Chain A
Amino acid sequence: MKTINLDYAAAAPVEPAVLEYMLPYFKEYYGNPSSGHSLGERPRKALEEAREKVGILLEAEPKNIIFTSSASESNNLAIKGLAASAKNKGNHIISSTIEHFSILNQLKTLQKNGYEVTLIPVDRHGFLSLDKLAEAIKDETILISIQTANPEIGTIQPVEKIAAIAREKGITFHTDATAAAGWIPLSVEKMGVDLLTLAGDQFYGPKGTGALFIRRGVRLTPLIEGGIQERGLRAGTENVALIAGMGEAARIASENIEQNSKVVAAQRDKLKESLLANVPHLHLNGHPEQRVPRNLNLSVEFVEGEALLMRLNMVGIHVSSGSSCTSQALKSSHVLSAIGVPPELAQGSLLFTLGKENIADDIPYITEQLGQVAGLLRNMSPLYHQYLKEAEKNAPVQ
């Protein structure tokens, strides 16, 4: 059976050229970049090259890039690191209700440790309320952390405006750009951010790679202490091969960003149109246009997401869902509830993230299968039967 991956956000294959690029760093150039002797030279150089390439992707100075193990780690270093180092300045942090759990969960921990947190609400498209943000700022505010784009509904925030508000008040601004990096052009200068998170696996680099841009002058307390690797901000021997791979993936992504985004967005739109035109009772979540090119989020009314996902999996289609039952948290997606999607619809949400591979030929199959699966599950859904009865009652008498 053919398999169609529409869950690239969860995992994407490493770009073949990236894999090739990494291999020598496992074999010939296995030296420790901190070594004083010549075995360390090439690995050390690889790190600096990777820094440059990630820097190009973000239009940032290479020396302001720190390598980590993941976007989650970068987010933790940014937030906990800043909170600890700025404790004498204040204890108030502002973020949004739709951030990733690697932000929200640490904010909860910080709250327990005496920090104050304000989460700014978003509108039905997922846009942050700038007014509420400005109102929330206090003398004690040390950090504002707002994502560049939402991984689930794709909405792209007006980061420049948020950064301007923060800058005016002298508050450090962090953005989690994990869902955006490699897919929309990013420039730390134009955006005006002080801290920016990304992960290599989101643009065909290896899993287990992350980076944090740290503007000069921003002081962070390290989470991992030990040696002086990564400017003393992250101790431990660097994962040279993987970092080199992330760098190479960043280079390829920055060269192709425009083309990739265009192609992927066109495919995403075709898929969206085909599904909406052929499968009844679908609802789009997030903003129709202002979203990451590869992201599509739909709610399939009257059915639940995990059941959909399992059925689609059986016919070779891999998607993800924000429903309770798949997140294993037994709650529906915090993002969908924050944008006001009613619980029954949030339960039936499907998240498609496309890759740059061509799926044009698969769209009829995906549409047909989703139609069948939805029909099958609706046939056993009490909500759907209720709906049919109501519709019948309200139908005009012939």
Chain B
Amino acid sequence: MPQYSDKVMDHFTNPRNIGEITDPDGVGEVGNPVCGDMMKFTIKVKDGRIEDVKYLTFGCGAAISVSSMVSEMAKGKTLEEALKITNKQVAEELGGLPGNKMHCSNLGADALHKAIEDYMEKNKIKAESGS
């Protein structure tokens, strides 16, 4: 087994926000063809903020911790803020990931961003270009 930080083990042991929101405002799904992992994020949006977020994950220990961490980081954030969550931040929040597990952290933030983009598309909201 790879060496995981205590934080990773904590999220792996007690994953937060597992599940699927039944009538979600946005859905984001990603899969990694290399190792066949999958993540699905569903979000509920209220007044421009992520009111609720749930996920399903098929993947390794790191992938499970990553999705749990992403869900915690996203909750309560505005869409713009949540879109700024990077894979690197997720890995940092988890106290680091073993080198060969860094790609697992890509999945989490990507799936969340996809769910937000899905919501924006459905509601014809344009993401701030930032300039």
| A316 to B: closest C-beta gap in Å | 14
| B54 to A: closest C-beta gap in Å | 10
Q: Is the CB of B20 within 8 A of A385?
A: yes
In the bound complex, CA of A307 to CA of B37 (Å): 12
Query: Which chain A residue lies CB-closest to B104?
Result: A325
Point out the residues of chain B lying under 8 angstroms from A330, CB to CB.
34-35, 100, 103
Q: Is the CB of B60 within 8 A of A304?
A: yes
Q: Which one, A302, A324, A328, A331, contacts B58 given CB within 8 A?
A: A302
Asked if A70 lies at the interface with its beta carbon under 8 angstroms from chain B, I say no
In the complex, per-residue mask of A314-325: 1 if CB is within 8 Å of any chain B CB, else 0: 100000000111
11-56 of chain B: CB within 8 A of chain A: 12-13, 15, 18-20, 29, 34-40, 55-56
Given A314-B13, A326-B1, answer yes or no on A332-B56 (Cβ-Cβ < 8 Å).
Answer: no
Q: Is the CB of A344 within 8 A of B40?
A: no
Q: Is the CB of A313 within 8 A of B1?
A: yes
* Interface-centre pick from A307, A313, A328 (highest chain B CB count, 10 A): A307
Query: Which chain A residue lies CB-closest to B12?
Result: A310
Point out the residues of chain B lying under 8 angstroms from A302, CB to CB.
58
Asked if A256 lies at the interface with its beta carbon under 8 angstroms from chain B, I say no
Q: Which one, B56, B63, B100, contacts A385 given CB within 8 A?
A: B56
25-60 of chain A: CB within 8 A of chain B: none
| B37 to A: closest C-beta gap in Å | 7
In the bound complex, CA of A325 to CA of B101 (Å): 8
In the bound complex, CA of A306 to CA of B104 (Å): 13
Asked if A74 lies at the interface with its beta carbon under 8 angstroms from chain B, I say no
| B14 to A: closest C-beta gap in Å | 11
Chain B contact residues: helix, strand, loop or mixed: mixed
Query: Which chain A residue lies CB-closest to B33?
Result: A343
Among A76-84, A288-296, A376-384, the one that faces the other chain is A376-384
Given A313-B1, A347-B35, answer yes or no on A381-B56 (Cβ-Cβ < 8 Å).
Answer: yes
Point out the residues of chain B lying under 8 angstroms from A382, CB to CB.
29, 38-40, 56-58
| B97 to A: closest C-beta gap in Å | 12
Chain A contact residues: helix, strand, loop or mixed: helix
Point out the residues of chain A lying under 8 angstroms from B103, CB to CB.
330
The interface on chain B, measured as residues whose beta carbon lies within 8 A of the other chain's beta carbons, has a size of 30
Asked if A303 lies at the interface with its beta carbon under 8 angstroms from chain B, I say yes
In the bound complex, CA of A314 to CA of B10 (Å): 12
The interface on chain A, measured as residues whose beta carbon lies within 8 A of the other chain's beta carbons, has a size of 27
In the complex, per-residue mask of A329-345: 1 if CB is within 8 Å of any chain B CB, else 0: 01110000000000110
Asked if B76 lies at the interface with its beta carbon under 8 angstroms from chain A, I say no
Q: Which one, B19, B55, B61, contacts A310 given CB within 8 A?
A: B61
Given A310-B1, A325-B60, answer yes or no on A380-B38 (Cβ-Cβ < 8 Å).
Answer: no
| B32 to A: closest C-beta gap in Å | 9
| B38 to A: closest C-beta gap in Å | 5
Query: Which chain B residue lies CB-closest to A380?
Result: B18
Query: Which chain A residue lies CB-closest to B57?
Result: A380
In the bound complex, CA of A310 to CA of B18 (Å): 18
In the bound complex, CA of A307 to CA of B66 (Å): 13
Point out the residues of chain B lying under 8 angstroms from A331, CB to CB.
34-35
360-398 of chain A: CB within 8 A of chain B: 379-383, 385
Asked if A309 lies at the interface with its beta carbon under 8 angstroms from chain B, I say yes
Q: Which one, A306, A314, A332, contacts B36 given CB within 8 A?
A: A332
* Interface-centre pick from B12, B34, B36 (highest chain A CB count, 10 A): B36
Asked if B64 lies at the interface with its beta carbon under 8 angstroms from chain A, I say yes
| A308 to B: closest C-beta gap in Å | 10
Asked if B130 lies at the interface with its beta carbon under 8 angstroms from chain A, I say no
Q: Is the CB of B34 within 8 A of A307?
A: no
Given A328-B100, A385-B20, answer yes or no on A343-B61 (Cβ-Cβ < 8 Å).
Answer: no
Taking A330-B35, A330-B100, A385-B20 as known contacts, 11 extra A-B pairs with beta carbons closer than 8 A to each other, sorted by chain A number, are A307-B63, A310-B1, A323-B60, A324-B35, A325-B62, A325-B63, A330-B34, A343-B36, A380-B18, A380-B64, A383-B38
Pairs of residues from A and B, 5 with the lowest C-beta to C-beta distance, nearest first: A325-B60, A382-B56, A306-B60, A324-B35, A382-B40
A-to-B contact residues, CB < 8 Å: 302-307, 309-310, 313-314, 323-326, 328, 330-332, 343-344, 347, 379-383, 385
12 contacts between A and B (CB under 8 A): A302-B58, A304-B58, A304-B63, A310-B1, A310-B12, A325-B63, A331-B35, A347-B35, A347-B58, A382-B29, A383-B58, A385-B20
